[in-house]
Amino acid sequence: VGIDPKEITPRADLRDDLGLSLPDIANLLTNLQEPFHLVIPKEQVKSLILDMTTVEDIVTFVEDELVMS
């Protein structure tokens, strides 16, 4: 996506600050599954991409999923 790593902060807005589109966010969530051993059903990805607005939202989601597994 070509994002300057300095721009990636917990409060950075995925769309406004980082310029990610909804498909970019869906792809990001999909790519997080393997390294973190997560299973995110497609239906859940669809709702998550609308609910997640910041980098912190994604981090919190992954942390919560790891705790639950």
- Cα angle value 36/39/45 (rounded, 5°): 105
Of the candidates 41, 45, 18, the residue with the CA atom closest to the CA atom of residue 29 = 45
Residue 1: its pLDDT value, please?
A: 63
Instruction: Write out pLDDT tens, residues 11-37.
Output: 999 999 999 999 999 999 999 999 999
Read off the pTM. Answer: 0.87
What is the DSSP-derived secondary structure letter of residue 20? Answer: -
